[in-house]
Amino acid sequence: MEALQPYLEAALKKEVDHAIVIETSKVLTEPWVRMRCQFGCFMYGKSLCCPPRTPTPDEMRKILDSYRCGILLHRHIRKGYKYVDEFNEIIVDLERTIFLDNYYKAWAIGSGPCTRCKECNVAGACLHADKARPSMESCGIDVFRTAKENGLPITVVKDHSQSRDVYGLILVE
């Protein structure tokens, strides 16, 4: 969509490697994604932005289907989790810009667990609700297949020292 081009350019200026407009039908959800969160991730149940508090794959499918398109963003990170945080910050800031431009449904999801607080306030409300967003994977999105089927790079990393490809999505309208 031509109207979203300025947002793609704004993202690329902030060291995002790819930003493409994507139909939400091309964002893929799968039941196994939730299973991998529940049985395989130490963050399960420990954050307001992680399962089981995030939308299930079925709920996320309905959310995705209530939008026509969004912006898929990719960044290749050589080292350091702080760059994932920086990437998530770029996404949520861009969500706000898009929202203020009258795309009233704009909503962003990023990559990895929320790290804004030393310990998540799981017993109460989010301490940074204006900025904290769940990750694509925590909402049941198959990030690998979504990236690959849209021509973008992603591979399994073997340990935390390896470079990685991270993704975010801003649902627009």
Residue appearing with tokens 């990170």: 77
Q: Contacting ligand SF4 (CB under 6 A), which of 1, 35, 127, 157?
A: 127
Instruction: Please return the burial class of 154, using the count of CB atoms within 10 Å of its CB with bins 0-12, 13-18 and 19+.
Output: middle
Binding flag, residue 155, ligand SF4 (CB under 6 A):
no
In whole angstroms, how close is the CB of 121 to ligand SF4 at the nearest point?
4
Spatial separation of the C-alpha atoms in residues 69 and 21, rounded to whole Å: 7
Among 116, 144, 145, 150, binds ligand SF4 (CB under 6 A): 116
Tokens of 33: 């994604």
Tell the smallest beta-carbon distance from residue 85 to ligand SF4 (Å). Answer: 11
The residue length of the chain stands at 173
Site for ligand SF4, residues 9 to 48, rule: CB under 6 A = 47-48
Q: How many whole angstroms separate alpha carbon 135 and alpha carbon 125?
A: 18
Per DSSP, 55 falls in state: P
Smallest separation, CB 32 to ligand SF4 (Å):
24
Q: Is 117 in the site for ligand SF4 (CB under 6 A)?
A: yes
Reduce the DSSP state of residue 169 to 3 states and report it.
strand
Number of residues that bind ligand SF4 (CB under 6 A): 12
CB 41 within 8 A of CB 153: no
170 binds ligand SF4 (CB under 6 A): no
Q: Which residues bind ligand SF4 (CB under 6 A)?
A: 47-49, 114, 116-117, 120-121, 126-128, 132
